[in-house]
Structure 1
């Protein structure tokens, strides 16, 4: 089963069962962001969560291997058009250099890992309008000289 077919099957099953990403993640005992990313084809699952997901969504047998397959992480290189994704792109465009400067001033010359990494999305209720709280937590990886 191709990843694109797997993603479509997952989304159709999720909708038909009236499930949320949060409820699916709770059933799997994992992070909502990670489960959603794996279901959208950007991460692989180990056997246990893949089995649980296939059972929960009544996915075909071929889905198991596709869920466990290592993904090729690619995305469209053009400027995103979806307003929410565009705003995140805009945040990096406006604050990317600032984040780089501050991170490297605090840690040295290196990068934040997107492999040893977690990402959480929370809602903060506020009388002036609810707030989106995005927390990225990545291991610092210093560049080395050789």
Structure 2
């Protein structure tokens, strides 16, 4: 399952979550997983272990097909339609603008290698600011040196 906002699985999850009033944070707390990881898994970006999938299935009263879909390995492909969403596009724009700078800084600080997108922690928070609240996204990725 890859993220597709029109898929029956995503539709069922969102419908049940909104009907019950259960927040993403409550779901993450319920399965004792990080917030961003939980949301990404429930939106189809990576598989959920059986125990966690069953627990959110019970909490949201999800059908067995949806619980099974949460456990499947997704196709991690680009969905061009999603890139038209203004919020998602801003993250793409951020990488387009700052990606080369991130790369240069990683190479200067760590050497020849990459930051892992698999072995990483992603955190999200809201921070009050007098000029308007701020969105804080932190990516804490493991450095992986190239081996030649």
The TM-score, its normalising length taken from structure 2, stands at 0.90
Deviation at 1:31, TM superposition (A): 1.1
Mapped pair 1:118 → 2:121: yes
1:96 is aligned to: 99
Runs in 1 of length 4+ with deviation above 3 angstroms?
A: none
Query: Using the alignment, how far apart are the partners of 1:89 and 1:140 within structure 2?
Result: 22
Q: Structure 1's 68 and 135: CA in aligned 2 closer, same or farther, altered over 3 A?
A: same
8 Å Cα contact 2:82-2:88 kept in structure 1: no
Q: Write the deviation string for residues 31-65 of structure 1: whole angstroms up to 9, x where unpaired.
A: 11111111111110111111101100111122232
What is the Cα-based RMSD across aligned positions, in Å? 1.7
Q: Structure 1's 141 and 63: CA in aligned 2 closer, same or farther, altered over 3 A?
A: same
Mapped pair 1:44 → 2:47: yes
1:75 is aligned to: 78
Deviation at 1:68, TM superposition (A): 1.2
Task: Name stretches of at least 5 consecutive residues in structure 1 with no aligned partner.
Answer: none
Q: Structure 1's 85 and 106: CA in aligned 2 closer, same or farther, altered over 3 A?
A: same
Deviation at 1:79, TM superposition (A): 8.7
Structure 1 stretch 92-101 or stretch 71-80: which is displaced more?
71-80
Number of aligned residues: 144
Query: Using the alignment, how far apart are the partners of 2:82 and 2:72 within structure 1?
Result: 28
1:54 is aligned to: 57
Q: Structure 1's 79 and 27: CA in aligned 2 closer, same or farther, altered over 3 A?
A: closer
